[in-house]
Amino acid sequence: MSSPYDDLDRPPLHVAALRRALAPNGWRVEVLAETPSTNAVVAERARAGEPTGLVVAAELQSAGRGRLDRSWTSPPRAGLTFSVLVRPDLPAAQWSWLPLWTGLAVATALTSRAEVQAELKWPNDVLVGGRKVCGILAEVPVPGAAVLGIGLNVSTRADELPHDRATSLALAGARTLDRDTLLRAVLRALGDVLADPTAARAAYRERCATLGRRVRVELPGDRSVEGTAEGVDDAGRLVVDGTGYGAGDVVHLRPVS
């Protein structure tokens, strides 16, 4: 009987090699064959007092979640699904930047290692060719600890994607689809980003494709606003026509002719 893990084009992560490579950067990598949610696993460990630097990846995540309680699904080993525990020494006002900085780290890693032109849609969607290749969910299970969940489509085929606004590194013609290489690159980039918050804020603003364009911000309660995305303020909020929004879905609108 065949197994969902028999796809030779989608080899498993090499946990021993990942541990050796990433230990000097302060990351402790664990790989699970299957779990409902890596964020839930790491959140439980955070509540038990686990120190910063834990990384839990899953070859198959059966009940993954994205922002706004949306589901996140991926075939076995077709992507990178992992969660990171950090305990950053940051002022309370800067914690809202954590998901934005996580997106920045992913985009930086994809540009340098996969050689795709990755950009950001506020707050933390990573886009390639205007389509979403990576989603991020940040949670705070206990004071002082943040769980940063990352779901990256790597070898996902078009018929395996949830909608036509999504893509994968394979479909984007990435230089590498090696998940070990990509995981190392993302974690090293995340460490660099978290080490220099001032530079990270500037780098995020520079890479964010939302800024300077017409957008629609879809808000809770079936409300929405349209306007020009003018910037990201010091609290990580998107400023549209002078008003800051800390939550909501952003739709990039076509320029008015």
Per-residue model confidence as pLDDT tens digits over 107-165: 999 999 999 999 999 999 999 999 999 999 999 999 999 999 999 999 999 999 988 99
Whose CA is closest to 14, among 240, 179, 256, 196? 179
* Same domain as 229, residue 189: no
Report the share of the chain in percent with pLDDT over 90.
86
Residue 232: give the domain boundaries.
214-252
Q: Which pLDDT does position 1 carry in this prediction?
A: 41
How many alpha carbons fall within 13 Å on the CB side of residue 216? 8
Same-domain check for residues 199 and 219: no
Give the pLDDT confidence of 171-217 residue by residue, as tens digits: 999 999 999 999 999 999 999 999 999 999 999 999 999 999 999 99
State the pLDDT confidence band at 48, using cuts at 50, 70 and 90: very high
Question: What pLDDT does 124 receive?
Answer: 94
Where are any strands of DSSP class E within 41-121? 54-58, 64-65, 71-72, 79-86, 118-121
Give whole-number Cα distances, 71 to 5, 22, 65, 127, 206, in Å. 22, 29, 4, 18, 30
End-to-end Cα separation, the chain, in angstroms: 58
CATH number of domain containing 142: 3.30.930.10
For residues 231 and 119, state if they share a domain.
no
Binned at pLDDT 50, 70 and 90, residue 72 comes out as: low
Same domain (yes/no): 44, 148? yes
